[in-house]
Structure 1
Amino acid sequence: MSSDNQPKGDPILNNQWEFDDFLYRRGNMYRTASGYPAENYFQNAAEYNIKAELNDQTHTISGHIDIVYTNNSPHKLDYLWLNVQQNSLRPDSRATLTIPMDGSRFDSNLTNGLEVSHVKAEVKTGGKNTDRFSVNDTRMKVLMPAPINARGGKATVKMDFQFKIPEKGKDRMGRVNTEKGVIYAIAQWFPKVAVYDDVVGWNIEPYLGAGEFYYDYGNFDVSITVPSGYVVVGSGTLKNPEKVLSKEAYNRFLKAQRSDETKYIVSPEEVGGTTYTKSSGKQTWHFSIKNSRDFAFATSKAFIWDGARINLPNGKTSFAQSVYPVESNTGNGWKRSTEYVKASIEHYSKKWFPYPYPSAINVAAEINGMEYPGVSFCHWKSKSSDLWGVTDHEFGHNWFPMIVGSNERRYPWMDEGFNTFINFYSTKNFNKGEYKTHLDKPGVINRWLKNPIRESISTYPDIVQNHNLGVTAYYKPALGLRILREYILGAERFDEAFRSYIKTWAFKHPQPTDFFNHIESVAGENLNWFWRGWFYSNDNIDMEVGDVLKTNKGYIITVNKLTEIPMPVKLQVEFADKSIQNLYLPVEVWQRGDTWKFLFKTEKTVRAVTIDPERILPDISMENNQKTLD
């Protein structure tokens, strides 16, 4: 196209990139252009029945799994892909071989990975059982004896498995020695069916570490056998507390569920003994959780165990719990953990969407912070604001991506960024602002925004440079949502749209365009310029107050856009008498160019004009945001 035919003014506002690959936002038979699931939207599902046992002498987990898979897609499936993420710990795994020489958060002890045996597959519609399977890195392909029918066909996969529990498992799981015993934090520990969706078919990216997880929803029935004296906590409901706990501990368990104050189930004085368990032999703890995308658990004989009731806005309750060793039992440490869990979940439930699970358990482990449905692993040495921050963040993940099931492998900003955003308001709300947050200081990102080696939010997590991931996945998308809420749309419009997005996509799989389309549809605003500028480019915001010229009718005020991303212009005019007046210019003022002049009618004497007086925008040159008149 010749330069004479190029769109004038701001290309983002003129939708020059309307059909970018990233923003190809037309609806289809599966997803509507207004950001809702369409009539033919589908999700497959799996039911998991797992029986596992811990050997604390060899630090191994062994077990048997039955998976009943339902194919709700419109396509017959000849095979199933499963995730076997323990294989990322093998010395020849892609995850191991792609760790930089200078190390990474995802360093780990190496093991033999997940060992599977006695694999059997069966299809309900016929065909003999088959044991044909292959394993490639963190993916396992199980061939079916006959195709799994579309729209409701079922298949069963069974197998035995075992693995060695590493001390360090990519900061996701592992074990740590404490004074009273070993703490085992167990996750990514059994084969899980990969997602088959309408976007790419089978989602079979290898697990490398930074890109987390993408799972379908299903029901889990899990039995875990442990030696005497071990406490087990896991996702969902403990189905047999009366069979594994002593009478006294069981009564405490019930009282804690009804108490708004934290109550001990296993006290510090009891840790390391067996008085809180029912028998001296092995015990099997039975858990279940419904409509969940995963199951995780922790076990130790070193656990102090406490709990309190969570009050939900729909009249239901849940059960906040914490397990931690005696070393963590300090007033500014894990003694407050259950208080933090309760406050965090009650806040998110009231503000955004009710918490759906029967329990929420914080586990002290040698893990900096990792989330699973109803269970979080946080560092056992965390204290004060650090413990609040990691607890609040990990339990915030129950909304993103546990309730809203986005694809973390491709779009970490849809869980990490959204979660960091809701953490901002939770922290401000907790205990009258006891702890501080940095999301209200957008200027701290300015140095990064000017860095020539920065990357965009849309960069895949396993590709992005390590030094950029914290901004691209967490801080920048969270700040983008705060800009949208507090600067562009306003709290009322944004909150209505954001709540609608969560409710609409609860227990489903939204793509980025579903989010963009849904927010625009509910809020009633074309935000293409914002999505493209903030989420998919490396462009910046820099607005300037230009000339402020006095006339006989008032003042001619000039504002300039010096960089690529347009924004509405919020101006504050300060008068000589120290009174102020706020002005608003819509984003459309930039449609015809990068300079806008307007007449501000007033009989008062203007002393100063300031852009964004509340300092919400990460304007890369804040020094030109104000013009002071002599």
Structure 2
Amino acid sequence: MNIPHLHAAFATFTLGVAMTASAAGPAFDDKFRQLDELLPTPGVTRNAAGAPGHAYWQQRADYKLRVSLDEASRAISGAGTVTYHNNSPDTLSYLWVQLDQNMFRSDSDNRKITTLPSRSAWQARSNDGVKFDALRFTLEAGKFAGGIEIGSVTGSDGRALAHTINKTMMRIDLPQPLKPGAKVSFNVAWRFNIPEMNVLGRRMGFERFKDGNDIYEIAQWFPRMAAYYDAAGWQNAQYLGDGEFTLEFGDYDVAITVPSDHIVAATGELQNAGEVLSSVQRERLQQAKKAGKPVMIVSQEEAQATEKGRATGNRTWRFNAKNVRDFAFASSRKFIWDAQGIKSGKQDVMAMSYYPAEANPLWEKYSTPAVIHTIEQYNKYSFDYPYPVAISVNGPVGGMEYPMLSFNGRRPVKDAKTGELTYSQAAKYGLISVIIHEVGHNYFPMIVNSDERQWTWMDEGMNSFLQFLAEQAWEENYPARRGEPRDIVDYMRSTNQAPIMTNAESTLQRGANAYAKPATAFNILRETVLGRELFDFAFKEYAERWKFKRPTPADFFRTMEDASGTDLDWFWRGWFYTTDAVDISVDGISEYTVSSKDPEVEKAWQRARRAAEPVSVTDQRNQGMPRRVDAHPELKDFYNEHDEFTVTNKDRNTFAETTAGLEDWEKALLKEGKHLTLVDFSNRGGLVMPLIVELTFKSGKKTIERIPAEVWRYSPKKITKLFVTDEPIVGLTQDPYWETADIDVSNNSWPRKATPSRLELFKTERDPNNLMRDAATPLKSTPTAAPKAAQ
């Protein structure tokens, strides 16, 4: 540590570098330039504050549907009426409808564009089942007669409507243009074969059990109106599998016909409980409304007794759902069913779970409590859950969300010794997390209705962030996977990235890019940049502004700035529009103290500094050497008895003359003895972030200095920061709590700290038939993947 001493009473420090580059140097990279060049211009539908404008509009689609589940052929057939409301200022001559089941056709784009890993990766993984699974998928996809068969499309007058099917989209040509403020109804009939989820499925399908029973999780099961909105027109991009769904709100009246011994879980409220439930089951549901813990509506014993038999005939369950953007259901005779009522603001909510005996003891213990916990926590950060039911279903789908209903995986396994079902820690927390996540999707995007086909992060990233907050509220040291900055470091180091602001179908490493990175960004924005109070207010404002409406990324960015009173364009640009990483290095440190000018003080300081220096090798070896002045003492004078650090009258007089004209405050400043430390920082990763600097003092005391990201505004690559302290700084660490996702913590400290790791020893591999092979293999070491390896 270099510690010079300033002999001027006052000093001016120039920090950073010049704003303009030399003719030969690089152009100035303004990390804080505004996003105006990237964001759409505000208007009457979406204003500059990020709120819906005074002329905001959105379409509406109401559905009256009848659907039958054919258990023998594992098929769905349906018919119904769609009423489309044109609330836009535009006249529409045709409508676009989504036929998502066509993704399961053998000739679909989804099947045709499927690729395998590189040849080397394929060969390297030949022993872990990848080859077999991929081959099975390819073969089964070719044999499965998937896709939706449209039986008829007719107008309200019964006449056939001209329609054109383009892969997963269908255009309906209207006989008369649909004017603003008008509505049109059409009828449609269809059928499709249900894919087996574990083989071909994507977000829906059936699961077969060895006893001949199935669990059906049915979604994307009817022709759904595509979204038409001000920022995009028709969202009629093809469904390729990754980009999810963009839909309109509406009311649903749905009749679901299933085998008479099935239990059905669905979006909405059951309308005919007296026809499909026993008196005992209805009584239990009434008890559950006021219960303090889940009540069994169908017990495990009852479900297992039912699944052993086969009742004849069918039964129709009727559900109504108001102001939802989709509808899904699940059906099986294997379902155990529990329920517990809770309050969400003024809304009474029935939290419910449906699961087979194979899911216990895990599901009966954690599913419904996790549903309740999600609603309680998400309400804090957004708005009160507005729907009457919230459901978690266990089946073949690992995790997928629909209004009021979610499909969730995770089950226990049989103990090898006892044969009893038991669950691991990973299964327990995996279940709780997936339920929080999928139930949480009711808020984003089922109510805050973002365009999933375009921007995955707007629902998955926001929901993963709220999931992280809910997980922290479940228990201390909850093993969360996404949200902590240190957990995104490996991805931020990688070269196989795309910006968060990438279309859903083009995103690389979808889980890291669209879930984990935005969740981490929001956590950093909350904890490090804005603070919890400002962030929570702004985020809740966004949720309230856009519930039951369709926001765009610009609406979110603008709302967060508007409600927090903070310019965050630098943050959005760095985290969402680039693949830059955080890597802030502490490059150098110099300490200064201010000279008091008092010779008594200054020469004592100089003497002490000299005494602290090591004795040179020459002086050490000259010890005891005969000296002339020792042999001839008459050669000694005043200067042999007084060294250069002796204070003279001349020194005292000079000090008196120098300080005679100073003001009292200036004299006091000279006596304070402040320590001035200049620290050089460089931005090696490209992403500007606040400085969080932990200072360690000679006394052992520590303090944290938090410096806004704007410290980089004039010099985004290198800066020098001045710290004024009362005592010497003996150590300094940038980002001591790993709160910025810095990808290299080895350069964050001064003095540098050793990076802990482990050295792995491997037994020498010998091949007796290869006499030319080296006798020993080199030692292998596990590289430190900071910061994780330091734990």
TM-score grouping bracket, smaller chain normalisation: over 0.9
Q: Give the equivalent residue in structure 1 for 2:347.
A: 316
Report which stretch shifted further, 589-598 or 187-196.
589-598
In the alignment, what sits opposite 2:151?
117
Q: For 2:192, give the aligned amino acid.
A: F
Distance 1:86 1:244 in 2: 29
TM-score by length of 1: 0.92
CA separation of 1:629/1:218 partners in 2, compared to 1, >3 Å: closer, same or farther? closer
Distance 1:311 1:104 in 2: 49
The one-character-per-residue Cα deviations of 1:398-441 (angstroms, maximum 9, x if unpaired) are 111111111111110111111111111100101x2373113454
After superposition, give the CA deviation of every residue in 1:172-213 in whole Å (9 maximum; x if it has no partner): 011112347211100000001101111221110010101111
Task: List 4+ stretches of structure 1 deviating above 3 A.
Answer: 2-10, 101-110, 127-130, 272-275, 332-335, 438-441
Greater gyration radius: 2
Does residue 442 of structure 1 match 2:471? Answer: no
Q: How much has 1:576 moved relative to structure 2?
A: 2.6
Q: TM-score, normalised by structure 2?
A: 0.74
- Aligned to 1:558, which of 677, 680, 690? 680
Cα distance in 1 for partners of 2:696, 2:577 equals: 36
Cα displacement string for residues 551-574 of structure 1 (whole angstroms, at most 9, x for unaligned residues): 113122333222322112121212
Shift in CA distance, 162/19, structure 1 to aligned 2, threshold 3 Å: same
| Counterpart for residue 71 of structure 2 | 56
- The correspondence of residues 88-487 of structure 1 with structure 2, limited to 5 A, is 88-102=103-117, 103=134, 109=141, 110-122=144-156, 129-150=159-180, 152-168=181-197, 170-178=201-209, 179=211, 181-273=213-305, 281-312=313-344, 314-330=345-361, 332-379=362-409, 381=411, 383-430=427-474, 432-433=475-476, 435-439=478-482, 441-465=484-508, 468-487=509-528
Deviations, residues 37-81 of structure 1 (Å, cap 9, x unaligned): 112221000100001111111111112110011000111111110
Provide the C-alpha distance between the structure 2 equivalents of 1:487 and 1:547, rounded to a whole number of angstroms.
Answer: 24
Q: How does 1:69-80 map to 2 (within 5 A)?
A: 69-80=84-95
Task: Spell out, residue by residue over 1:196-246, the C-alpha distance to the aligned partner (whole angstroms, 9 max, x if none).
Answer: 111221110010101111111111111101111110110111112122111
In 1: Cα distance, 2:102 partner to 2:521 partner: 36
Q: What CA distance in whole angstroms lies between the structure 1 residues aligned with 2:280 and 2:312?
A: 16
Bigger proportion of residues as strand: 1
SS in 1 for 2:446: helix
Segments of 5+ residues of structure 2 without an aligned counterpart are 1-20, 118-133, 413-426, 594-673, 754-791
Give the distance between the partners of 1:544 and 1:283, measured in 2 at CA.
Answer: 68
What's the CA shift for 1:615?
A: 1.2
Please say if residues 606 and 629 of structure 1, whose CA atoms lie closer than 8 Å, have aligned partners that are also in contact. no
What is aligned with 1:626? 749
Post-superposition Cα deviations, 1:275-332, rounded to whole Å, max 9, x if no partner, equal: 9x9x9742111111111110000000111111112332x13321111111111121x3
- Residue type matched to 1:538 in 2? T
Question: 2-side partners of 1:624 and 1:576: how far apart?
Answer: 22
The aligned counterpart of 2:30 is: 11
- Deviation readout 1:321-361 (Å, 9 max, x if unpaired): 1111111121x345421111111122112332111111111
Instruction: Report percent identity of matched pairs.
Output: 37
| Unaligned residue ranges in structure 1 (runs of 5+) | none
Aligned to 1:511: 552
* Counterpart code for 1:411: W
Q: Note the aligned Cα RMSD (angstroms).
A: 2.5
> CA, structure 1 residues 5+589, in 2 after alignment: closer, same or farther (shift >3 Å)?
farther
TM superposition shift of 1:629: 8.9
In the TM superposition, residue 258 of structure 1 has moved relative to its aligned partner by 2.1
TM-aligned CA deviation for residue 135 of structure 1: 0.9
State whether residues 86 and 113 of structure 1, in contact with CA within 8 Å, keep that contact through their aligned partners in structure 2: yes
- For these two proteins, the number of residue pairs brought into alignment is 614
Question: Is 1:616 aligned to residue 739 of structure 2?
Answer: yes
Alpha-carbon distance between aligned partners in 1 of 2:207 and 2:230, rounded to the nearest angstrom: 41
Q: Residue by residue, what CA displacement relative to the aligned partner does 1:3-61 show, whole Å, maximum 9, x if unpaired?
A: 8699975422134xx444xx224312221111011122210001000011111111111
CA contact (8 A) 2:485 2:524 kept: no
The separation in 1 between residues aligned to 2:45 and 2:135, in whole angstroms, is 39
Alpha carbons of structure 1 residues 13 and 239: separation in structure 2 relative to 1, 3 Å: same
Shift of 1:622: 1.2
What is the Cα deviation at residue 274 of structure 1?
A: 5.8
What are the superposed Cα offsets for residues 443-495 of structure 1, whole Å, 9 maximum, x if unpaired? 33323222222222122222233xx1111111111111111111111110000
Shift of 1:381: 2.4
Selected match of 1:586 from 699, 704, 708: 708
Report the 3-state secondary structure (helix = DSSP H, G, I; strand = E; otherwise coil) of the residue aligned with 1:492. helix
SS at match of 2:528: helix
C-alpha contact 2:378 2:470 (8 A) present in aligned 1: yes
Alignment deviations for residues 74-111 of structure 1 (CA, whole Å, 9 cap, x no partner) = 11111110001011100111112122235599988533
